[in-house]
Amino acid sequence: MTCTTGLQIVTPEDPIAIVAARHCEVEQVAKYPVQRLARCNQSVSDAASALHVRLLAPAPCAPAEFRIPPIYERAVSALTLNLLWLVRQSKQDLNAGKFNCDPKRSDVIIGVCGGFDSTLRNALKVSGVTELAGEYESQVLAGKRALHAHFGSTTHDKVGEMASIIAARMGLELGTNGRILALESAEATTYCAFETAILGLLEGASDMAWVGVGQRIEGAHMAQALASHLGGDKVFNEGASLYGLRRLKDAQRDGDEIIAVLDGMACTHSRSNSPQAFQELSERLSAPRQVAVCDHSAAAIGLAKPESYGLAHSGADAINAALSTIHHQSPTTIFGQSLYEHVWALRLRAYNNEPVPARVKAQQSDLIAIVGLGASYGPFDGLETVTEAFQVGRDGIAPLSTTALPRTTTFDVNRTVPLSSYAELGSETQSAIVQQATSRTSSFPDKVHALAMQVGAEALSQVVSEDTEQLCHSVRWSIIVATQLCSTLERAVSNETHWPELSKVLSLAERDNQLDSVSLEAMLPGNIAHSLSEAHKLNAKAMAIESACASSLAALETAVRQLRQNLCDAVLVVASELPNNPRDLTLCSAQRMLSADKISPFTDQADGFSPGDGAGAVVLRRLPDAQAEKQTILGLIRGIGGSSDAVSFTAPDPRGQIAAMKRALQNAAMEPDHVGYIETHGTGTQRGDAIEIKALNEVYGGHRKIGLGSVKSLVGHSFAAAGLAGLIRALGAVNTAHYPPTILRGSLSHGLDQQQGSWQISNIPLPWVNNGTLRCAAVNSLGTGGTNFHMIVEAAPEPSTEFTENV
């Protein structure tokens, strides 16, 4: 059975020009080197060595060539250098005049699958600390020093393990000022990256998009999973590729050397990748059946069966093959499939210097309705509890449990011992489903997955019921999860697989347990979205997105564009992250990110943030559709904008934040004085808060008194889930006509003088006196690496009891 879940993404009326295309070389086929990351369990080694692979050749460059100091080299993933090398080659083409690019309106989007070597090494060395439990203090200290000497430990370890930092480094080299994000969708990763890039071009939010796709197998655990998945009849291809995309009409106008034209792209749901799904896409694109990356089902209708497999890079392999023969076989259609039960088609053709037809955009509302919410932040579990806590200002920060922070091995208040946390306060989840996720009987792969399923189900329960079950079948769904792109489960599996490395470093007794095999799908974060689709029978397109601490809003922006471009009818956005664990506490302490006490945004006591476990979910519809189906509307998204710009990967720059704010206001067709409340990023660092205030003053200052707040003062910083916490608080503000409180643990910072400035911030709820304009609020979300997003929301057309009950 197939069910169409998306209209044609690219049509002949909206052609896209590929003006840059580069890829890295791969080595000859060989058995996977099982000790590539570290020594590993013998049983896993035996299984992993069955995988035959073409390894990605090392990049012919050094980190220092890209302004990466030697001290931070081990914090940078190997894949980073491959993609930066491709950026350098593409810049040479740009400088040679082969194409034009306005960096201020250029996005950088990358697609990857699985953890990086830097990510998994971080997890392994911190897990080594737990092996020291029960030892004397002197032995714990000696063990930590041994781990530090063997694995290395820098202040940039946390930064270097994030996928979006690769995109940020690429943007820094290219000088871009557009969106920065990373995503994963199993074998459909390349296609999702192209789609996300193209949406920005079609909406006019960007003029160029750089799409990087990279895949390496960074551990015997992943090689074992791939060997089991492939069954021994295919070679695995690692790879790294980079593409530059522009609207064809712009490339023609500027005289670019156009490599190929992408004039057709579509996607459909297919359970078990049935031949009918490929047939449907083939007919929809009028596709000549020439090139395919697919399985035997597609071969049944005349498509080629590939002899190799590249996971994230599968689509890129096919695109590269098609581009190499585009002038001899044109047009060429590429077909792909995903573990998440979708098949894709992408049509390329040679450029013939033909005129581009004028595009006629269908008239529809740009307003997006919020029709479902789910939440669990710190000790506040469930939407009703969360909204009440947010509106009255309950303090959810407290001493962490010994599970989150083992005091005997991990805590060091003096900040002198490596691989330790000096912070012991946070906002820890109390969700029962998370506690159950630690048991072997749990149906969830890990805690992050479990909490995402909980809040996703809560949001969907407000939209889908037995009375509205047809919504599942008649509506085209998309599910986007904002979270880290290396799952908690993969880190745990890698740690157990590579325990022999710790045994050698710490002189532990040998053990070689027979480890249970974990499926490839279970270890990928996009599986959260797929699990939600399966659990609620939505047949949804599934994808995971990461843009550091701005991941929630990056996912929301992608969702809004999918709806505005009519690629789907409903989107479920879920964000989930649980940073109260030894790994995150240790890595963030090394960077001096954390507060020694409780987070204190915008005060003279600000010394860092408190980590906060959290997850949020939101269901979005186009406003006319929600109204036609008489759905309860909880609020409206009027506009959203993104940018990137940073002095360094930890020091923000007000110019990038200002750009995101102005783009959001432009996208919403609003002026600054229409906004009456701003839910800030507000992480409680002296420098970060000062720069955010400076940017806010530049855009919103001087217009009128505006309410200001930071939900992080209540529940800490939940990383990828932080933006949705801000959205929920902003919706409470616009719907109850009250400014929510911020816990002020000190005197207000310079720039927030309430007598003379533009801002109103308080420990208690304050009435929002409207001046007759729309009641609108803004949400600010800023990520490490200089990724910035800003969103404008409006009160529901009619008051919602979800919020008014708590006033």
pLDDT in tens, 376-385: 999 999 999 9
Average pLDDT over residues 451-476: 82
How confident is the model over 603-613, as a mean pLDDT?
A: 97
pLDDT of amino acid 295: 44
User: What pLDDT shows up at residue 802?
Assistant: 66
Does residue 539 surpass a pLDDT of 80?
A: yes
Percent of the chain at pLDDT above 90? 75
- Buried (b) or exposed (e) across 146-155, using 16+ Cβ within 10 A? bbeebbbbbb
Three-state secondary structure of 563-588: HHCCCCCEEEEEEEECCCCHHHHHHH
> Which amino acid belongs to residue 526?
G
**pLDDT of 356 strictly over 90:** no
Q: Give residue-wise pLDDT tens across range 385-439.
A: 999 999 999 999 999 999 999 999 999 999 999 999 999 999 999 999 998 887 6
Lowest mean pLDDT among 15-29, 394-408, 700-714: 700-714
For residue 380, the model assigns a pLDDT of: 99
Banded pLDDT at 607 (limits 50, 70, 90)? very high
Place of tokens 């010394």: 607
Q: pLDDT of 56-85, one tens digit each?
A: 999 999 999 999 999 999 999 999 999 999
Q: Which residues of 686-709 are buried (b: 16+ CB within 10 A; e: fewer)?
A: eebbbbbbebbbbbbbeeeebbbb
CA distance 475 to 147: 52
pLDDT above 90: residue 154: yes
- Confidence band of 799 (pLDDT split at 50, 70, 90): low
Task: Say how far apart CA 380 and CA 720 lie, in whole Å.
Answer: 18
Which residue in 10, 8, 15, 37 sits closest to 491, CA to CA?
37
- For the cut 70, the answer to whether the pLDDT of residue 287 exceeds it is no
Token couple for 597:
């006490």
Phi, psi of 104 (to 5 degrees): -70, -20
pLDDT tier at 724, thresholds 50, 70, 90: very high
Gap between the Cα atoms of 688 and 259, Å rounded: 43
List beta partners, residue 757: none
Is a pLDDT exceeding 90 seen at residue 53? yes
Looking from the CA of 627 toward its CB, the CA atoms found within 13 Å total: 11
Mean pLDDT, residues 622-627 taken together: 96
The whole-number pLDDT of residue 3 equals 38
- Average pLDDT in the 718-726 region? 99
654 contact partners, CB below 8 Å, separation of at least 6: 691, 692, 694, 695, 698
Q: Are 538 and 520 in contact (CB under 8 A)?
A: no
Domains of the chain and any CATH numbers: 2-116+161-349 (3.40.47.10), 368-505+515-804 (3.40.47.10)
pLDDT computed for residue 361 by the predictor: 55
> How far apart are the C-alpha atoms of 698 and 681, rounded to whole Å?
16
Residue 143 makes CB contacts below 8 A (sequence gap 6+) with 128, 129, 131, 132, 135, 506
Kindly tell me the burial class for residue 108, based on how many C-beta atoms sit within 10 Å of its own C-beta (0-12, 13-18, 19 or more).
Answer: buried
Strand order in the sheet with 235-237: 26-31, 52-56, 235-237, 308-309
Pick from 166, 668, 137: nearest CA to 409: 137
- The residue with greater pLDDT, 745 or 3, is 745
**What are the pLDDT digits (tens) for 78-128?**
999 999 999 999 999 999 999 998 898 999 999 999 999 999 999 999 999
Higher pLDDT, 234 or 757: 234
* Whether 66 contacts 91, CB under 8 Å: no
Per-residue pLDDT tens for 211-268? 999 999 999 999 999 999 988 778 999 999 999 999 999 999 999 999 999 998 988 8
State residue 292's pLDDT score: 47
One-letter amino acid of 64:
A
How much is the average pLDDT of 568-591? 97
Cα–Cα dist 320/739, whole Å: 53
Name the one residue in this structure whose structure tokens are 């694995």: 151
H/E segment holding residue 83: helix 78-95
User: Does the CA dihedral 442-443-446-447 come out positive or negative?
Assistant: negative
pLDDT attached to residue 758: 79
Q: Nearest CA to 485 among 113, 181, 773, 137? A: 113
State CA 693 to chain mean position distance.
Answer: 26
Q: In sequence order, what E strands does 475-514 have? A: 477-482
d(CA 247, CA 200) in angstroms, rounded, equals 10
Statement: residue 303 has pLDDT above 60: no
User: Which burial class, exposed, middle or buried, applies to 627 when counting CB atoms under 10 A from its CB (0-12, 13-18, 19+)?
Assistant: middle
Could you write out the DSSP letters of every residue in 1-25?
-EE-----SB-TTS-EEEEEEEE--
State the pLDDT at residue 753: 62
Check residue 132 and report its DSSP letter. T
Give the integer Cα–Cα distance in Å for 405 and 409. Answer: 9
pLDDT at 472: 61
